[in-house]
Amino acid sequence: MPTRPRPPAQKRAAFERLEVFSAFGATELAALAPVAQVRRYAKGRTLVAQGAPTETTFGIVSGRLRVSLSRANGSDATLAILGPGELVGELGLFQNGSRSARVTAMEEVCVLSVPKSALLGALGRSPAASLALCRLLSARVRQLAQHFEEVTAMPVEQRLARKLVFLAGRWGEPTAGGIGIRLSLSQQELAELVDTSRQSTNKCLMKWRKSGVLGSLKRRLVIRDLPALRLCAGT
């Protein structure tokens, strides 16, 4: 019985860590490996420009990416922060238009890029991976719906508290005196996460620092009183 071809070790390891791709069988992964590329981007580099053609899907191997929307008034709104194991650009698989958002590197990142045509072909041969993609798309729609509910129906303090609680759960780690968030976010970046001004964000952060809810360590936020922050978030 002939053995199935295996993708190179680096790509195979990357595939195994990515949502959707981990559901593919060996045959589909072997077909994707020759056209998939491992790419690295420095902090601040743009991977996807808003308005660019939808030609590639990216899987994050390491690092974090920011998905944001530029508006007519010149301001930015951050839709999501994505990390290792997650996909970027999956919505472009099902449309022939342009990218609806910009994707930039928040730190040095390594991604696996796969051409749209190749990925669609592999999905057509793998019901398991197609189902995994449907689950991913459903989760992304729920996340976006929750995001827009927060920015349109909640006061600034509540939605900023919710975002900090989320970041602590996703990228928090025990540190001296609390939970440190493993993201170096400026006040402007925090403001764009909750769709408000830097001044309003600073006002909330100063209030929480004075009351002992927040602190900082090595330019990163530390949540010192998570229950109090959850109370502000209404969760």
151 sits in which H/E element: helix 127-153
Whether residue 145 sits in one domain with residue 159: no
Whether residue 162 sits in one domain with residue 85: no
pLDDT recorded at residue 145: 87
60-to-88, 92, 167, 201, 203 alpha-carbon distances in Å = 8, 16, 18, 29, 34
Whether residue 175 sits in one domain with residue 131: no
Nearest to 20 by CA among 81, 79, 85, 67: 85
d(CA 161, CA 20): 31
Residue 30 lies in a domain: yes
How many CB atoms neighbour CB 104 within 10 A? 18
pLDDT recorded at residue 75: 77
Whether residue 102 sits in one domain with residue 182: no
Domain final residue pick, 106, 126, 151: 151
Residue 1 lies in a domain: no
Whether residue 20 sits in one domain with residue 83: yes
pLDDT of 59-108, one tens digit each?
A: 999 999 999 988 777 778 888 899 999 999 888 888 777 888 899 999 99
75 sits in which H/E element: none
Whether residue 161 sits in one domain with residue 141: no
d(CA 35, CA 146): 36
Residue 4 lies in a domain: no
Residue 166 lies in a domain: yes
Going by the DSSP 8-state scheme, the letter that residue 25 receives in this structure is -
The overall pTM is greater than 0.75: yes
Residue 51 lies in a domain: yes
Whether residue 192 sits in one domain with residue 97: no
pLDDT recorded at residue 86: 93
Residue 183 lies in a domain: yes
pLDDT recorded at residue 97: 76
* Mean pLDDT, the chain cut into blocks of 10 residues (235 residues total): 52 84 90 92 93 89 91 81 92 81 93 94 95 92 85 90 93 91 89 92 96 89 95 90
Domain that holds residue 173: 155-233
User: What CATH number should be reported for the domain holding residue 168?
Assistant: 1.10.10.10
Domain final residue pick, 116, 151, 186: 151
Whether residue 178 sits in one domain with residue 145: no
Residue 15 lies in a domain: yes
Whether residue 165 sits in one domain with residue 117: no
Whether residue 77 sits in one domain with residue 55: yes
Whether residue 214 sits in one domain with residue 136: no
Residue 97 lies in a domain: yes
Domain final residue pick, 151, 174, 192: 151
pLDDT recorded at residue 62: 92
Whether residue 177 sits in one domain with residue 62: no
Count up the domains in the chain and report the number: 2
User: What CATH number should be reported for the domain holding residue 145?
Assistant: 2.60.120.10
